[in-house]
Structure 1
């Protein structure tokens, strides 16, 4: 019988490029699934890594193959240092999401770089990665994958909302877990704030000083994606091909772009939830710290918005990918067809052992 208590590292790199999230966790499934975050850190990317990951979308196949290997080596060395500095002795596996370069499931492909064999070889620890490809092969979106964690670890909430590079939400409907991406969030706002030599708009202060451009807001809200009800997910392609061209043609000041986009985010999220004061929604991801965005969201819904402790906000995705690794290691399903649209529930990921 397999050991139900496991110690693991969950590793996550989000599309907003704010850094590498590493969480050392204890996960137990003796009765229900329980977790404890024992140690966690976000390691900011230096300018070179940030540029390489940001530009990975545009480089040649050979250069991307090298970037995959180099990033795997970077992850392996970073995790080895984390293990050493924190005197971690109990460690059953590493679960690494990698960093998404391409995500276009409608054309049957998705790519998260961060070569698993290098992580395994450098650390000497069993490594589980590539959680999305199998789902796409089974006709799914390969995303979002976090809802299995919402169902098993945060079932007391009616909704679980993540405000990261993109916003996504999960909930129970007709006794099934459903989830989908809603709209871009930090990946767009950070892009425009970067032109002011800032990493992000702290607390939404710049956005709060801007004005809404109603024509831009209406054009964003009318995008076909938002009315598409089937399982769906967003990738950087949508930003480059659709969002940036729409915003840029208006030649607005940065504060007005941010103000308009915050309104767009709040309105799109509110459309996906019931405005019911008896309902509770857990909010995580970097956008949970955007006070102005949360205020605007409160304007559009009566649902109670729950902002948890910082460790959950910051490391929920790393935690859930560790859970996906746990389930894969236990040969249990970690991808839900009701969420991704795949042909069946399945256990996704590749395990590397040295």
Structure 2
């Protein structure tokens, strides 16, 4: 008698560095002959209000007691959103896997911190919760980032490269049977910062950037940043952007159109350099994240990578919810006590099974 195939029914939560909002993805996972398959059944994107966005952005400056209080408050907020999502869609759920929202990411001093208390999420939505996926890897000497590559390997392994264009760009690929992945450059973190100068949240489709011209002095300064010469494993956070990039942008006397245009070329140059240096020509490059909808950025990347790599833009659902999907999948691996953090990616002393489990009270 054959054993029925187990379907894992998980809700993944993702809030990224670009502060767009909360992504919720209800996903099904099955394993058949060591091969995983998935489907994204229901999704929701909840935009942060301007006030809440500012609150999240300024958490880095809060004193310890207020930060910890907001950690709990944000956990309740996440739990409420999950409860509403489950009720609206009448879902049967095994557990919630939450990335949280990153406040501090300084692995060089052994620190990564995501707010969104797992116990508060669990109590508010009456569901088991797995979260805090990064801290254990950092405790093992790793970067705690990027974590998505385990999903790239097991769910999207038919692509040569997986590139995510979120607040930060990161890339993932196989090299000599090892998964390699690291952060390349700021993307929406940089573009959205510039857009605020003209009271816009973002440059839709890169239309404003497309009207500009390159400021070569600024481009050269951006391309000369020391991070780009560092070997991997390596990762970026908002603190790095604040310390190294903002001064270059603020020191540029030029139009917003030209600064955006220049920044797009900077981003495309850094990504293309990585791909040209790591793989043979004619490979497939899967692009996801909000930046995949920036037509001017994609057009610039296609130009940089012509005859080097074929750019694949998947469905809008995959573009928008791939990270939430993969954190849901990381939760499944944690629940099964299987490896979900790769030392070849993060530089940790060993592969690990990361994530902390909370049960509702």
Name the TM-score class by shorter chain.
over 0.9
Q: Is 2:219 aligned against 1:217? A: yes
Q: In the alignment, which residue of structure 2 is the partner of 1:67?
A: 70
Tell me how far 1:276 sits from its aligned partner: 5.2
Tell me how far 1:47 sits from its aligned partner: 1.8
Tell me how far 1:192 sits from its aligned partner: 1.4
- 2: distance between equivalents of 1:70 and 1:24? 23
Instruction: Give CA deviations for 1:4-55 in whole Å, capped at 9, x if unaligned.
Output: 4210100000110111000001011133111110000111011221111011
Q: In the alignment, which residue of structure 2 is the partner of 1:51?
A: 54
Equivalent pair of 1:140/1:343 in contact (CA under 8 Å): yes
Q: In the alignment, which residue of structure 1 is the partner of 2:246?
A: 244
- 2: distance between equivalents of 1:300 and 1:256? 19
Instruction: Give CA deviations for 1:204-258 in whole Å, capped at 9, x if unaligned.
Output: 0110111111011111111111011130000001111000011211222211111
Q: How many residue pairs get matched?
A: 353
The 3 A distance-change label for structure 1 pair 117 and 3 is farther
Q: In the alignment, which residue of structure 2 is the partner of 1:196?
A: 198
Tell me how far 1:278 sits from its aligned partner: 2.2
Q: In the alignment, which residue of structure 2 is the partner of 1:155?
A: 157
Instruction: Give CA deviations for 1:100-122 in whole Å, capped at 9, x if unaligned.
Output: 01100001101100000011111
Q: Is 2:58 aligned against 1:37? A: no
- 1: distance between equivalents of 2:329 and 2:215? 42
- 2: distance between equivalents of 1:3 and 1:156? 23
Q: In the alignment, which residue of structure 2 is the partner of 1:279?
A: 283
Q: In the alignment, which residue of structure 2 is the partner of 1:293?
A: 297
Match of 1:83 among 72, 83, 86: 86
- 2: distance between equivalents of 1:4 and 1:338? 30
Q: Is 2:327 aligned against 1:314? A: no
RMSD: 1.3
Compute the TM-score of the two structures, normalised by the length of structure 1: 0.98
| Partner SS, residue 32 of structure 2 | coil
Q: Which moved more, 1:191-200 or 1:24-33?
A: 191-200
Q: Is 2:342 aligned against 1:339? A: no
Equivalent pair of 1:2/1:330 in contact (CA under 8 Å): no
Instruction: Give CA deviations for 1:270-291 in whole Å, capped at 9, x if unaligned.
Output: 0011385520000000000000
- 1: distance between equivalents of 2:78 and 2:4? 28
Alignment of 1:3-18 (within 5 A): 4-18=6-20
- 1: distance between equivalents of 2:4 and 2:219? 53
Q: In the alignment, which residue of structure 1 is the partner of 2:182?
A: 180
Q: In the alignment, which residue of structure 1 is the partner of 2:332?
A: 326
- 2: distance between equivalents of 1:286 and 1:321? 17
Unmatched tracts of structure 1, length 5 or more: none
Q: In the alignment, which residue of structure 2 is the partner of 1:353?
A: 359
Match of 2:236 among 210, 230, 234: 234
Q: Which moved more, 1:134-143 or 1:275-284?
A: 275-284
Tell me how far 1:2 sits from its aligned partner: 11
